[in-house]
């Protein structure tokens, strides 16, 4: 647990669950464990954990391998990537949410080719850019 009067700058990694009630700047990586941002927690960092619960304030991108929950007292400014996301009534959130099944490689989620709309019944243009009447 990081207490309310503790301030940390840098990278936090670990192999156990963590609760942050103080201030953290940098990055938090708890790949296979739970991370809780308490009511008094203020985090300016990217977060990566199995389950992330936010009751305080987070400014940064959030990646949960199982679930992310933003409680009614939680405030998030950043993007969330997780297979399950819960925003409780009253939660403040600004960013994007990606709940695609491929959370391990979110860059592939946006690589689907877009289809151009079919041009049906459109008259061709002449050299001046005016439409030529068909008929």
CA atoms in the 13 A half-sphere facing the CB of 58: 34
pLDDT score, position 110: 46
What is the reported pTM?
A: 0.74
Question: Cβ(39)–Cβ(23) under 8 Å?
Answer: no
Give pLDDT, residue 133. Answer: 52
Rounded Cα–Cα distance for residues 125 and 119 (Å)? 13
Here the contacts of 34-40 (C-beta below 8 Å, separation 24 or greater) are: 37/74, 38/4, 39/73, 40/4
Q: What tens-digit pLDDT sequence spans the chain (135 residues)?
A: 999 999 999 999 999 999 999 999 999 999 999 999 999 999 999 999 999 999 999 999 999 999 999 999 999 999 999 999 999 999 999 999 999 866 444 444 444 444 444 444 445 555 555 555 555
Residue 77 has, within 13 A of its CA and on its CB side, a CA count of 6
């Amino acid at each position: 647990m990081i207490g309310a009067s503790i301030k940390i700058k840098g990278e936090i990694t670990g192999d156990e669950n963590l609760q942050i009630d103080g201030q953290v700047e940098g990055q938090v990586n708890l790949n296979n464990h739970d991370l809780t941002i308490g009511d008094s927690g203020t985090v300016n960092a990217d977060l990566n954990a199995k389950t992330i619960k936010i009751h305080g304030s987070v400014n940064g991108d959030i990646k949960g391998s199982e679930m992310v929950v933003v409680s009614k007292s939680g405030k998030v400014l950043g993007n969330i990537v997780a297979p399950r996301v819960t925003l409780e009534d009253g939660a403040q959130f600004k960013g994007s949410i990606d709940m695609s099944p491929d959370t391990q490689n979110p860059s592939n989620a946006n690589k689907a080719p877009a289809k151009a709309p079919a041009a049906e019944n459109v008259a061709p243009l002449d050299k001046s850019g005016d439409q030529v009447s068909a008929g």
